[in-house]
Amino acid sequence: MKNLFLGKAPRERKYLPKVIEHLYSFFSAIIFSISLIFFIFLLINTEEKNLQDKLFLLLNKMEFRLIISFFVFCFLVNIVYVIRLVRILPKTESGKILVYLEIIFLILFFLSFINLFVSLSCLKFNEIVFE
Q: What is the pLDDT of residues 59-73, one digit of tens each?
A: 888 888 888 888 888
Residue-level pLDDT at 5:
56
Q: What kind and span of H or E run contains 36?
A: helix 19-44
Give the pLDDT score at 129.
43
CA angle at 102 for the pair 116 and 9, rounded to the nearest 5°: 120
Are 123 and 22 in contact by the 8 Å Cβ rule? The answer is yes
pLDDT reported for residue 130: 42
CA angle (35 as vertex; 32, 40 as ends), nearest 5: 125
Q: How many CB atoms lie within 10 A of CB 52?
A: 8
pLDDT tens for each residue of 6-50: 566 656 655 555 677 788 888 888 888 888 888 888 888 878 788
Question: Are 102 and 25 spatial neighbours (Cβ–Cβ below 8 Å)?
Answer: yes
